């Protein structure tokens, strides 16, 4: 038998908030995520993970969430970053909610409409639809209006059709030698992953209460004999939001930080001391100095 063709390329997962992008990515990269680099990344454009399946090496890159209120400086900046990120990717995987297509989904489509990369649409959360036939008119409508190479109904949560997505992505990548050793999974900064785990718990704990205005900065990341010591600053936009994050008697922050600490221990496979502070910088999202400090603006 001849050797399988070597493929390699970059993939971005895009879509409006809450459609299941992170869940899908976690399912794709799954347990294979491992840390191989301690060098902090300097931009938000991160390599989230690399998997090699059937001799196709898939490099997943992060694009920060698309901002639908581009009035603020930070939101415009982030939208530009998405467009820049999409410029070099080989495959875009757009995630949408199988239950409803919104105007924001059209906005996401409009961003990469003119791009030459291959495009796959994942209609996620199809586990929430009992009669799958009900999805057909929506699929037909989207197919008629946009040029997707593939449209896949899936459930990231239940891992349904996730392998199909991996297979379809892999076969669309260009013929190229692999960029990473096949068993090396992610050249990722522990610091960044840790800040993401904290951010994840904040989003989980705060729900709709703090959209887009919370940010995590890792101030200290120190290995001691006994543990990894991490100090994290949580930045909010307004004084009033501090109380929301901290909660009555600090209970909300305590439980979010404790959940984050467990996730971090799981990730680093070490004992972790996590200390968190909530800080306010008025209108930091409109302040380019603060943006520079967050390495958004490389
Ligand atoms: P993101 O904002 O696009 O990254 O979305 P997340 O991955 O954070 O998911 C948002 C919410 O949708 C979470 O509560 C997930 O558990 C849930 N979710 C993600 N995928 C599925 C799915 O396939 N089915 C169902 N029922 N829920 C899902
Ligand atoms: Mg997400």
Sheet holding 272-280, edge to edge: 215-223, 228-236, 272-280
Number of domains in the chain: 2
Q: Which ligand is nearest to the CA of 156?
A: 1
Answer yes or no: is the C-beta of 129 below 6 A from any ligand 1 atom. Answer: no
* 156 Cα to the center of ligand 1, angstroms: 7
Classify residue 100 as exposed, middle or buried by CB count within 10 Å of its CB (0-12, 13-18, 19+): exposed
Look at residue 184 and tell me if it is in a domain: no
My answer on whether 96 and 151 are in the same domain is: yes
Written as six digits, the tokens of 33 are: 């995520």
- The number of the ligand 1 atom at minimal distance from the alpha carbon of 16 is 3
My answer on whether 210 and 125 are in the same domain is: no
- The CATH number of residue 208's host domain is 3.30.300.20
Structure confidence at residue 43 (pLDDT): 35
* 271 Cα to the center of ligand 1, angstroms: 29
Q: Helix or strand or coil: residue 234? A: strand
Q: What band does 213 get if pLDDT is binned at 50, 70 and 90? A: low
Q: Which ligand is nearest to the CA of 124?
A: 1
Answer yes or no: is the C-beta of 18 below 6 A from any ligand 1 atom. Answer: yes
pLDDT at 66 over 60: no
- The CATH number of residue 94's host domain is 3.40.50.300
Tell me which of 14, 18, 68 to substitute to probe ligand 1's pocket, judged by most ligand atoms within 8 Å of the beta carbon. 18
Residues near ion ligand 2 (Cβ under 5 Å)? 21-22
Mean pLDDT, the chain, rounded, equals 80
Structure confidence at residue 183 (pLDDT): 61
Structure confidence at residue 173 (pLDDT): 96
Q: What band does 93 get if pLDDT is binned at 50, 70 and 90? A: very high
Reported as a single tens digit per residue, the pLDDT across 44-60 is 345 677 788 888 989 88
Listed residues 112, 137, 171: the one ending a domain: 171
Listed residues 136, 171, 206: the one ending a domain: 171
pLDDT at 199 over 90: no
pLDDT at 155 over 70: yes
Q: How far is CA 60 from CA 22, 24, 72, 91, 271, in A?
A: 12, 12, 28, 10, 29
Domain that holds residue 224: 190-293
Question: Which range has the top average pLDDT, 70-79, 99-108, 120-129?
Answer: 120-129
My answer on whether 18 and 151 are in the same domain is: yes
Nearest CA residue ID for atom 27, ligand 1: 125
């Amino acid at each position: 038998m001849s050797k399988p063709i070597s493929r390699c390329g970059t993939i971005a997962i895009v879509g409006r908030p809450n459609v299941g992008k992170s869940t899908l990515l976690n399912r794709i990269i799954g347990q294979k995520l491992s840390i191989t680099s301690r060098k902090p990344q300097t931009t938000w454009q991160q390599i989230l993970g690399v998997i090699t399946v059937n001799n196709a090496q898939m490099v997943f890159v992060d694009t920060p969430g698309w901002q639908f209120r581009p009035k603020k400086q930070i939101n415009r900046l982030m939208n530009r970053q998405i467009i820049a990120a999409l410029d070099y990717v080989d495959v875009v995987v757009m995630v949408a909610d199988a239950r409803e297509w919104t105007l924001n989904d059209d906005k996401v489509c409009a961003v990469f409409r003119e791009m030459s990369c291959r495009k796959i649409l994942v209609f996620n959360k199809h586990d929430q639809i009992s009669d799958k036939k009900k999805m057909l008119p929506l699929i037909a409508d989207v197919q008629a209006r946009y040029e997707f190479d593939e449209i896949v109904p899936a459930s990231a949560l239940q891992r349904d059709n996730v392998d199909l997505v991996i297979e379809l992505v892999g076969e669309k990548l260009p013929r190229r030698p692999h960029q990473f050793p096949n068993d090396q999974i992610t050249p990722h900064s522990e610091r960044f992953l840790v800040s993401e785990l904290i951010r994840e718990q904040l989003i989980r704990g705060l729900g709709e209460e703090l959209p887009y205005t919370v940010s995590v900065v890792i101030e200290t990341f120190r290995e001691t004999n006994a543990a990894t010591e991490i100090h994290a600053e949580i930045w909010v936009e307004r004084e009033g939001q501090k109380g929301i994050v901290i909660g009555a008697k600090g209970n909300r922050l305590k439980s979010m930080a404790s959940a984050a600490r467990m996730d971090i221990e799981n990730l680093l496979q070490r004992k972790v001391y996590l200390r968190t502070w909530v800080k306010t910088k008025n209108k930091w999202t409109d302040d380019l100095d603060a943006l520079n400090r967050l390495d958004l603006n490389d």
